[in-house]
Amino acid sequence: MILLKKDFIFQDVNKLDGVGQKLSKYLKKKKIEKIKDIILNLPYSETNRTRIFKIKELEIGKINTIKVKVKKLNFPRIRNLPNKITCEDETGKIDIVYFNSREGYLRKIFPYDQWVIISGKVNYFRNKYQMTNPDYVTELNNQDYVLQNIPKYNLTKGINEKKYRAISEQVTKKLPKINDWLSEDFVKSHNLLNWNECFQRLHTTDESKDIKSKSFRRLVFDEICANFLTLSENRKRVKKTKVSKSFSESTSKKIIAKLPFNLTQSQKIVLEDINQNLRKNERMFRIIQGDVGSGKTIVSLLSIANVIEAKYQCALMGPTEILAQQHFDLAKKIFDNTNFVVEFLSGKTDTNKRKIILDNLKNGKIDLIIGTHALFQKKITFKKLGFVIIDEQHKFGVKQRSELARKGGDNCDVLLMSATPIPRTMMMSLYGDMDISKITEKPISRKKIITLSKPEKKTDELWIFIKKQIKEDNQIFWVCPLIEESKILDYASAKKKYDLINKKFPNKVGLIHGGLSKEEKNNVLKKFLNKELSILVSTTVIEVGIDFPNANLIIIENANKFGLAQLHQLRGRVGRGNKESTCILLFKEGLSKNSIKRIKILKESDDGFYIAEEDLKLRGFGDLLGYQQSGQKTFRYADPLLHKDLFELAESFILNQNEKINEKKYDFLLKLFDKAEIINTDEI
């Protein structure tokens, strides 16, 4: 049955002619499961088959199209020998070779002594031109189908250009007439195209490769709007009416008075933002953005004190057991002179203690529970949960944020914390459903990290400096890009470096990388934290917020291979104690202009927000560290730098919408970009 309604677009690909179970499996490898995925899989280039070559003009190793007469068909009866068809024109001969093809099929498409059009890659074998398994063979009266600039798609093994072209053309021909969710006036006034024309042109012209073309800009605008609509709806769902929390701030003020440092102006402003949210009749959904070491955790603990004073329970979650344990230790210290009951829960908590903690949470005997994601398992229930704080939240997408807000219940406020500064141009696209607070200053007591750069060939000069650091009871990070040696990439290997350093400083060196189990990583990190190790050789797994107050030196190999934001995050692993710290960037000779710029910016600035902006300019949205790897790369086509005007237009468009987002008008758009599931979840 042929489906010509708009629902056709959301059917499985096996509803198309010629797409069986085997081909569906291959398409799935390219994340093409629905017909809409074929629409959104744009050609990246074209294969030029327009010119008909004479045999004497053929270009070896290239795709050529020829018009030849079939002169001989050879079907050997010996197994494993290929079938061969000899063809010719007035300038020479060529063999068309097939492996594993049926004789009857070949006789049909190569009628003896008839002219045919053949297109494929040309080889030269035994002094003769040859074409193996050509892409196209057709009669002269069908040559227009072959003699074209044919769209080229990223394909996977098992699908050739011809097969995928047939599928793609079938979809574009059957595309139903979609009622555009944008008005005709809006489309014209902003130099866009209507929906149907946009997608026809993206697949039948070269506009998919031109980011300034009307059709590509329309696709980008739709993608941005789908994202913004989702965030806007999520914001409405989360920010529901709640009971205002009443507190005097007496406990938090006593804690502040006893701190061995003064809060920065930035911390005070953010704390006030949170307190105002807590007192409102609307649920809080806020993110604190703060540079490494800017003091986000202390702000969250002070706000926790106010919520506990308001007779509610709180939960603080860290991404790893070590980081959660550090939060627990700090909380115990901060709340030492209060009557707050603080407990720690992780996957390693023993069964008996776990049962007691769960009972006490249910009965309201625990004021603050700190732990890993285990805190949000279904089995765990709270008597009166009023505040949830998640640290290093970059692993959470919009859907997870919705689920989290639902977990807390009607009167639960949510605070997220991130030590990865987000460029201003990306704020709306990533955090449009949240209120945003920034801690832009660092504590006065925090010493600036001295950043130096050094060619790798002078690495031997570092050993005396490292020896001195160890003698002074300081600890060192040594960061390498790869776990093992690579024959292709000339990067340092963490394992090789560990062996080398361990020979120089026996029994003082640890190794940590992504190939280790969670438990193995934790064991090494604990040894380093307890000063059982002096040097920790590591890949970039150490960049998330753990405090190692005794680490004063970090050496980063192949520094030119890292992005600015990532280098800044790595540098933030040191300088957390009261001693001066150093970051040494090792680089190979012959640096690119961008690499020189990155190292220069890092040496001159320790402002994470400025560094994030500069990183975005140098590397582009798609490569910006932290988003792609953690699932934060929200857009497939849109780029906040290249399409800045469309981001601004979309933001203005969404803010001016008076209609409900979940009206039928937007269903198609949200389904097209896989946002409908988020919008259509149960009410929060």
Q: How confident is the model at residue 623 (pLDDT cuts 50, 70, 90)?
A: very low
Which one has a higher pLDDT value, 147 or 635? Answer: 147
Say whether pLDDT at 443 is over 90: no
CA distance 112 to 72: 7
* Calpha distance 503→302 (Å, rounded): 47
- Tell me what pLDDT residue 543 has: 52
For 50-147, the fitting CATH number among 1.10.760.10, 3.40.50.12280, 2.40.50.140, 3.40.50.300 is 2.40.50.140
Task: Measure the CA–CA gap between 33 and 14, rounded to whole angstroms.
Answer: 8
Distance CA 229, CA 661 (A): 7
DSSP characters over 393-453 = GGG--HHHHHHHHHHH-TT-EEEEEESSPPPGGGHHHHHTTSEEEEE----TTSPPPEEEE
C-alpha 482/C-alpha 495 separation (Å) is 9
For 43-52, write each residue's pLDDT tens digit: 988 889 999 9
> What is the model's pLDDT at position 230?
82
Mean pLDDT of 452-466: 90
Q: What residue ranges do the domains of the chain occupy?
A: 50-147, 250-439, 450-605
Percent of the chain at pLDDT exceeding 90: 43
What pLDDT is attached to residue 403?
63
Least confident of 95-99, 118-122, 132-136, 409-413: 409-413
Query: 151 pairs with which residues across the strands?
Result: 46
Structure token pair of residue 113: 């002594």
44-100 per-position pLDDT tens digit: 888 899 999 999 999 999 999 999 999 999 999 888 889 999 999 999 999 999 998
- Which one, of 10, 60, 56, lies nearest residue 33 by Cα? 10
Residue 581: both structure tokens together? 């710290």
Q: What percent of the chain has pLDDT over 70?
A: 88
- 370 pLDDT band, cuts 50/70/90, is very high
More confident residue, 118 or 4: 118
Asked if 330 contacts 299 with a C-beta cutoff of 8 angstroms, the reply is no
Highest mean pLDDT among 14-23, 136-145, 442-451: 136-145
**pLDDT at residue 391, rounded to an integer:** 85
Residues 619-638 have a mean pLDDT of 53
Instruction: Give alpha helix (H) positions in 363-412.
Output: 398-408
Q: What is the mean pLDDT of the chain?
A: 85
* pLDDT band with cut points at 50, 70 and 90 for residue 448: confident
Question: Rounded CA gap, 300 and 287, in Å?
Answer: 11
Angle between helices 398-408 and 214-238 (to 10 degrees): 10
> pLDDT tens, 161-181?
889 999 999 999 888 888 898
Q: How confident is the model at residue 321 (pLDDT cuts 50, 70, 90)?
A: confident
Distance CA 187, CA 214 (A): 10
Q: Of 643, 614, 673, which Cα lies nearest the Cα of 190? A: 643
Q: E strands of 249-329, at which residues?
A: 285-290, 313-317
pLDDT of residue 628: 37
Res 518: pLDDT:
74
Angle at 419 between CA 415 and CA 422, to 5 degrees: 95
Ranges of H-type helices in 350-393: 351-362
Tens of pLDDT, residue by residue over 186-220, are: 999 999 999 999 999 999 888 888 888 999 999 99
Q: Which residues sit opposite 96 in a β-bridge?
A: 85, 131
Q: What is the pLDDT of residue 682?
A: 44
The CATH number of the domain covering residues in 250-439: 3.40.50.300
d(CA 643, CA 614): 17
Is the pLDDT at 424 greater than 80, yes or no?
no
Give residue 303's pLDDT band: very low, low, confident or very high (50, 70, 90): very high
Q: Do domains 50-147 and 450-605 have the same CATH topology?
A: no
**Cβ(509)–Cβ(522) under 8 Å?**
no
- Give, rounded to a whole angstrom, the gap between the first and last alpha carbons of the chain: 39
pLDDT value at position 632? 45
User: What pLDDT is attached to residue 624?
Assistant: 38
Does residue 622 have a pLDDT over 50? no
- Of 44, 33, 34, the C-alpha closest to 6 is 34
Q: What is the pLDDT of residue 627?
A: 36
Q: What is the DSSP letter of 391?
A: S
* H/E run at residue 302: helix 296-309
Q: CB under 8 Å to 1, separation ≥6 — which residues?
A: none
Which 3 state secondary structure label does DSSP give 111? coil
pTM over 0.95: no
State the CATH architecture for 450-605.
Answer: 3-Layer(aba) Sandwich (3.40)
By residue count, the chain amounts to 684
pLDDT category at 492 given cuts 50, 70, 90 is: low
Angstrom distances, CA of residue 311 to CA of 67, 245, 366, 385, 549: 85, 9, 11, 10, 34
Predicted pLDDT of residue 633: 54
Distance between CA atoms of 89 and 635, rounded to whole angstroms? 51
pLDDT category at 325 given cuts 50, 70, 90 is: confident
Range among 22-31, 483-492, 533-542 rated most confident: 22-31
**The two structure tokens encoding residue 447:** 């010493």
